Structure 1
Amino acid sequence: MAAILTIARRIARMQQFRFARNPFLQSAIANSFSRSSSSNLSSFSSAFHRTGSVRSRLCTHFLRRISLKRLSTQINAQVFDFPSSETQNLIPPDQRMIDLIRRVALLDSEAHAMASLEDSSFHLNHDSLYSLIWEFRDEWRLAFLAFKWGERCGRGDKKSCELMVWVLGNHQKFNIAWCLIRDMFHGSTDTRNAMFLMMDRYAAANDTSQAIRTFDVMDKFRHTPDEEAFRGLLYALCRHGHIEEAEQFMLANKKLFPVDVEGFNIVLNGWCNIWVDVTEAKRIWREMGNYCIEPNKDSYGHMISCYSKVGNLFESLRLYDEMKKRGWSPDVEVYNSLAYVLTRENCFDEALKLVEKMKESGLKPNSVTYNSMIRPLCEAKKLEEARNVLATMINENLSLTIDTFHSFLEIVDYDRTLEVLNEMKIAGLGPKGDTFLLILRNLFKEKQPENVLNIWAEMARFDIVADPTLYLAMVQGLVTCGWLAEAREIYSEMKSKGLSGDPKLEKLLQKPVRGNVNGRKKNVRGFGASKMKGLQKQSSRESYKRQN
Structure 2
Amino acid sequence: MSLFSNKTIFRRLHPHFFRSFPRSIPPLPYAPSPPLVTSIAIFPFSWAFRRTPCVRFQLSRCFASHLHVSAENLGTALELIPERIDCHDPSKHTLVESLTVASQFSTEAEATTYLDDSGIKPSLELVYSVIWELRENWKVAFLAFKWGEKRECADEKACELLVWVLGNHHKFGIAWTLIRDLHRASLSIRSVLLVMIDRYAAANNPEKAIWTFRVMEKFRMSPDQDAFYSLLKALCNHGNIEEAEEFMFLSKKLFPLQTDGFNIILSGWCNIFVDILEAKRIWREMSKCCIVPNATSYTLMISCFSKIGNLFDSMRLYEEMKKRGWSPGLEVYNSLIFILTRENLCKEALKILDKMKHLGIQPDSATYNSMIRPLCEAKKLVEAKDVLANMIEDNVKPTTDTYHAFIEGSDLNIGWELLGQMRKEGLRPTGGTFLLLLSKCFKLGQAENALNIWAEMKQLYEVMPDKAHYEMLVEGLSRCGMLNKARDYYAEMRSRGFTDDPKLQKMLKERVPGNIETVECLSRQVHKVRSKRVSPLRK
- TM category (shorter chain) comes to 0.7 to 0.9
Q: Tell me whether 1:506 sits opposite 2:508 in the alignment.
A: yes
The correspondence of residues 119-138 of structure 1 with structure 2, limited to 5 A, is 121-138=119-136
The aligned residue for residue 46 of structure 1 is 46
Query: What's the offset of the Cα at 1:477?
Result: 4.3
Query: What's the offset of the Cα at 1:430?
Result: 3.8
Query: What's the offset of the Cα at 1:473?
Result: 3.3
d(CA) in 2 for partners of 1:210 and 1:66? 30
Is this contact kept in 2: 1:52–1:395, CA < 8 A?
Answer: no
The aligned residue for residue 167 of structure 1 is 165
Is this contact kept in 1: 2:467–2:493, CA < 8 A?
Answer: no
The aligned residue for residue 490 of structure 1 is 485
d(CA) in 2 for partners of 1:230 and 1:318? 33
The aligned residue for residue 283 of structure 2 is 285
The aligned residue for residue 59 of structure 2 is 59
Aligned-partner residue type, residue 472 of structure 2: A
Aligned-partner residue type, residue 324 of structure 1: K
* CA pair 186-511 structure 1, distance change in 2 beyond 3 A: same
* CA pair 130-473 structure 1, distance change in 2 beyond 3 A: closer
The aligned residue for residue 263 of structure 2 is 265
Query: What's the offset of the Cα at 1:331?
Result: 0.7
Is this contact kept in 2: 1:67–1:239, CA < 8 A?
Answer: no
d(CA) in 2 for partners of 1:341 and 1:438? 24
Aligned-partner residue type, residue 486 of structure 2: Y
The aligned residue for residue 194 of structure 2 is 196
Aligned-partner residue type, residue 512 of structure 1: G
* CA pair 206-511 structure 1, distance change in 2 beyond 3 A: same
Q: 1:294 aligns with which of 292, 305, 314?
A: 292
Is this contact kept in 2: 1:471–1:490, CA < 8 A?
Answer: no
Q: Deviations over 1:163-214 (max 9, x none)?
A: 2222222222111111111111111111111111111111111111111111
Q: 1:362 aligns with which of 357, 360, 374?
A: 360
The correspondence of residues 136-147 of structure 1 with structure 2, limited to 5 A, is 136-147=134-145
Aligned-partner residue type, residue 513 of structure 2: K
Is this contact kept in 2: 1:143–1:164, CA < 8 A?
Answer: yes
d(CA) in 1 for partners of 2:220 and 2:230? 17
* CA pair 290-86 structure 1, distance change in 2 beyond 3 A: same
Query: What's the offset of the Cα at 1:240?
Result: 0.9
Worse-superposed segment, 318-327 or 226-235 = 226-235
The correspondence of residues 231-380 of structure 1 with structure 2, limited to 5 A, is 231-380=229-378
d(CA) in 2 for partners of 1:125 and 1:291? 52
d(CA) in 1 for partners of 2:463 and 2:118? 33
d(CA) in 1 for partners of 2:307 and 2:44? 29
Is this contact kept in 2: 1:45–1:52, CA < 8 A?
Answer: no
Worse-superposed segment, 304-313 or 111-120 = 111-120
The aligned residue for residue 83 of structure 1 is 81
Is this contact kept in 1: 2:81–2:161, CA < 8 A?
Answer: yes
d(CA) in 1 for partners of 2:136 and 2:448? 35
Aligned-partner residue type, residue 399 of structure 1: K
Query: What's the offset of the Cα at 1:433?
Result: 3.8
Secondary structure in structure 1 of the residue aligned to 2:130: helix
Aligned-partner residue type, residue 212 of structure 2: T
Q: Deviations over 1:17-51 (max 9, x none)?
A: xxxxxxxxxxxxxxxxxxxxxxxxxx975356974
Q: 2:403 aligns with which of 380, 402, 405?
A: 405
Secondary structure in structure 1 of the residue aligned to 2:56: strand
Is this contact kept in 2: 1:377–1:383, CA < 8 A?
Answer: yes
Q: Deviations over 1:212-259 (max 9, x none)?
A: 111111111121111111111111111111100000000011111111
d(CA) in 2 for partners of 1:206 and 1:66? 24
Is this contact kept in 1: 2:478–2:486, CA < 8 A?
Answer: no
* CA pair 194-86 structure 1, distance change in 2 beyond 3 A: farther
User: TM-score, normalized by length of structure 2?
Assistant: 0.80
Secondary structure in structure 1 of the residue aligned to 2:409: coil
Secondary structure in structure 1 of the residue aligned to 2:55: strand
d(CA) in 1 for partners of 2:392 and 2:54? 6
Query: What's the offset of the Cα at 1:410?
Result: 1.9
d(CA) in 2 for partners of 1:196 and 1:190? 12
Query: What's the offset of the Cα at 1:342?
Result: 0.7
Secondary structure in structure 2 of the residue aligned to 1:280: helix
Secondary structure in structure 2 of the residue aligned to 1:256: coil
Q: When the two structures are aligned, how many residues end up with a matched partner?
A: 478
Specify every segment of 5 or more residues in structure 1 that has no aligned partner in the other structure, as ranges: 1-5, 11-42, 524-548
d(CA) in 2 for partners of 1:164 and 1:211? 18
* CA pair 92-223 structure 1, distance change in 2 beyond 3 A: farther
The aligned residue for residue 25 of structure 2 is none
Q: Deviations over 1:247-282 (max 9, x none)?
A: 000001111111111110110111011110000000
d(CA) in 2 for partners of 1:310 and 1:522? 44
Query: What's the offset of the Cα at 1:424?
Result: 1.9
* CA pair 464-512 structure 1, distance change in 2 beyond 3 A: farther
Worse-superposed segment, 420-429 or 304-313 = 420-429
Is this contact kept in 1: 2:408–2:415, CA < 8 A?
Answer: no
Worse-superposed segment, 172-181 or 455-464 = 455-464
